[in-house]
Each structure stands twice: as C-alpha cells, then as structure tokens.
C-alpha cells in the first residue's frame, strides 16, 4: 500500500506542473516587423511594446517579434495579418499606400502633422476612427492602433548645394512615395534604389541626393562618410507614425481587459516617443556635425515654397483619384486649422458625410 501511495504521489507531482502550465499558458502573438529592432526610434519601439505588454500582463500576453524577412517580408505584413497567417504586425501604414492611398496620411506625408498634432488628432479628432475606417471599408480584417512615433526624417543627403528652386530641376534623388511625386513635380528626377545601394550610387555619381530614414538611423549608414550636406526640415516626412495591426478575429476574441491593456500600452508608447524622439534626432544631427563634419543647412525659402506648391498639386491629383484620401486630408487640414488653445474635440462626422469606399483587392 505504501509503495502504491508513493507511486501515486509521484505521478501527481509530475502531472501537477503540467496542468497548471496548461491553464496559465501565455497568449503569444506572432508579430513580424517592418523595421529591425536595432533601429533607434523606428525599430526599437517594437521591443519596448513587447516588454510593456509582457510586464503589464504579468506574462499572460506576449509578442513574438519577427525581424524583417524572418518568415515575412515587410510588404507582406498587412495581408498576412488580415488573413490570419500571423497574429499581428508592427509597421507604418505607408507600406500599404499602393493598395490604400490614404494610408500615407496616417503614417507621415509631405508638409503633414508633427507628432503632437497627430496625437491630438487621434485623441481629440477623427483620426483614430478614420484610421480604422480605412481598413474596414477596404475589407482588410485588421484592428489598428497607432502605437509609437518613429521620428521626423531629415530633408535628405546632398552631394550638391541647393541654393534656389531652380537647382531642383534635373536633380537626381533617391526618394519614395508621395515625397518622390512632389520632387518630380518640382523638376527633379527621382530614382528607385534600395538603401543598401545609396553609398555606392553616390560614389558612382549616379545620384545627387538621397533620403533614407531619420537622423538617428542615418548616422549608422556608410554614406555619412561620403556626403557632407543635409537639408532640414524633412518636409516629405515631418513624422513617422508606427502602427500595431492585429488580426480582426484575434482582436475580437480578446477579453475586454486584454484589449484595454494593449490600448494602454500603445498610448504609453505614443507619449514616451513624443517626448523622446525630438531629442534623439537632435542628438544624432549634432553628432554628425561634430564628429563627422556633416553640414546641416536649412532649405532656402523659395525651395520650400516651390515644394509646397508641388505638394498641393500632387495632393489634389491623389484626392481626385481616391475620395477617401481627399476626405482624410480635408479632415486633417480642418483639425490643424483649429485654434491651438481649443481643447474641444472635433465633431464626429455624420453618417451621410462618411465616404463609401469600395473593397480593394
């Protein structure tokens, strides 16, 4: 009898931890990233997000971060999250602009809002509801949360000085997205080029200028030893909004407490990155000047004026082609025009005012 009792006790002791573990197994969200976690501001925000979620949930909710290309390429993230092939993604919406033109307006666009204005628009205006509206009406099954600010970019690296708007004509510049369309409108020749090829392109004199990331990330790039002139501000990307997208079914299956926890962490990161980002970029620019001899110059006034005029034409063209783009941009412009002292939230759009988007492939 004693031997049987000891054997049973031994079996229960072995099963006990397994049963407890099964009951308390953490919820793990496979989360591919657009930017590697080694990138200051742009990528390390994902590490901070995962850390805060794990801490605040007591380990019950965790993100399994996947570096870019680790099973998912950056431009695949949205589709994979929507289809449930991965649970979530940490990205910036401009990556989906070919499918959803208004996406660029939620991530940073020419002469767009700074971080503080974006945060106010999300919290006190229509920004957050329009952000979700964009995905819902396009039939993309994700829940979106703006989750951090990645910082403002510089105006680019230049191998030649830009003294007036005439110097933009024929300028060969590596630049993407809406910024590229603005530069083209202003007379420049835009070049599609991977970031890894920028240094050699400068060496071979294939380009005269290039934009890449924020100063805090650019300082790690090799072309700082080859090109010694930066123009500020980064008119084409005054801020970079980073988003957490979660598969819609996965999000709706969460408890109210889990959803609230994730929302709270994203709000914390938005506030933290709002406070930290400007200093991070300023420190990088100072180091590039003091350590590497890089000149940081302001754009000539007539150049910025010409670029603003070009942006107005590009924005009108985009709005004519995509109604939701125009609707969102109008909403941002109206919000920015409100008196700074006003704390009143922007009125919610009425149902008849909301654009009816058609689902996109």
Residues 252 and 123 grouped into a single domain: yes
CA angle 350, 352, 356 (to 5 degrees): 115
Q: Look up the domain containing 46 and give its range.
A: 26-151+238-279
Residues 205 and 242 grouped into a single domain: no
Residues 205 and 143 grouped into a single domain: no
Give the residue from 37, 182, 62, 164 showing the smallest Cα distance to 173.
Answer: 182
pLDDT tens for the chain, residues 1 to 361: 434 443 434 333 333 333 333 457 999 999 999 999 999 999 999 999 999 999 999 999 999 999 999 999 999 999 999 999 999 999 999 999 999 999 999 999 999 999 999 999 999 999 999 999 999 999 999 999 999 999 999 999 999 999 999 999 999 999 999 999 999 999 999 999 998 899 999 999 999 999 999 999 999 999 898 899 999 999 999 999 999 999 999 999 999 999 999 999 999 999 999 999 989 999 999 999 999 999 999 999 999 999 999 999 999 999 999 999 999 999 999 999 988 644 444 444 443 344 434 333 3
**DSSP assignment string, 72-130:** S-GGGHHHHHHTTSSSEEEE-GGGGTTT-GGGGGGT--TT---HHHHHHHHHHSSHHHH
Residues 269 and 313 grouped into a single domain: no
Helix/strand/coil (H/E/C) assignment for every residue in 238-274: CCCEEEEEEEHHHHHHCCHHHHHHHHHHHHHHHHHHH
Residues 296 and 227 grouped into a single domain: yes
Q: How many domains does the chain have?
A: 2
Task: Tell me what pLDDT residue 14 has.
Answer: 35
Task: Tell me what pLDDT residue 340 has.
Answer: 63
| Phi, psi dihedral angles at 148 (to 5 degrees) | -170, 160
Q: Is residue 353 part of a domain?
A: no
Residues 44 and 81 grouped into a single domain: yes
């Amino acid at each position: 009898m004693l031997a049987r009792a000891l054997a049973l006790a031994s079996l229960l002791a072995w099963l006990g931890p397994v049963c407890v573990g099964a009951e308390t197994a953490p919820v793990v969200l496979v989360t591919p990233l657009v930017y590697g976690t080694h990138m200051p501001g742009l990528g390390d925000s994902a590490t901070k997000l995962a850390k805060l979620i794990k801490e605040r949930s007591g380990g019950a909710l965790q993100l399994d971060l996947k570096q870019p290309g680790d099973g998912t390429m950056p431009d695949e993230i949205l589709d994979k999250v929507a289809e449930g092939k991965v649970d979530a993604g940490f990205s910036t919406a401009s990556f989906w602009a070919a499918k959803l033109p208004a996406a660029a307006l939620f991530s940073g666009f020419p002469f767009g809002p700074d971080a503080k204005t974006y945060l106010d628009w999300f919290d006190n205006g229509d920004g957050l509801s329009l952000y979700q509206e964009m995905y819902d009406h396009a039939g993309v099954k994700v829940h979106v949360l703006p989750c951090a600010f990645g910082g403002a970019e510089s105006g680019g690296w230049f191998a030649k000085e830009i003294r007036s708007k005439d110097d933009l004509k024929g300028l060969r510049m590596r630049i993407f997205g809406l910024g590229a369309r603005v530069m083209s409108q202003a007379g420049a020749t835009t070049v599609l080029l991977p970031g890894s090829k920028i240094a050699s392109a400068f060496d071979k004199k294939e380009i005269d200028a290039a934009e890449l990331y924020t100063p805090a990330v650019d300082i790690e790039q090799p072309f700082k030893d080859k090109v010694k002139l930066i123009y500020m501000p980064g008119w084409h990307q005054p801020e970079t909004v980073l988003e957490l997208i979660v598969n819609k079914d996965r999000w709706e299956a969460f408890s109210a407490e889990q959803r609230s926890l994730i929302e709270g962490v994203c709000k914390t990161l938005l506030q933290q990155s709002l406070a930290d980002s400007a200093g991070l970029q300023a420190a990088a620019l100072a180091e590039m000047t003091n350590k590497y001899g890089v000149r940081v110059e302001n754009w000539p006034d007539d150049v910025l004026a010409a670029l603003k005029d070009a942006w107005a034409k590009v924005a009108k063209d985009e709005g004519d082609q995509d109604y939701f783009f125009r609707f969102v941009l109008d909403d941002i412009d109206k919000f920015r025009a409100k008196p700074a002292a006003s704390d009143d939230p922007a009125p919610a759009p009425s149902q008849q005012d909301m654009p009816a988007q058609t689902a996109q492939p």
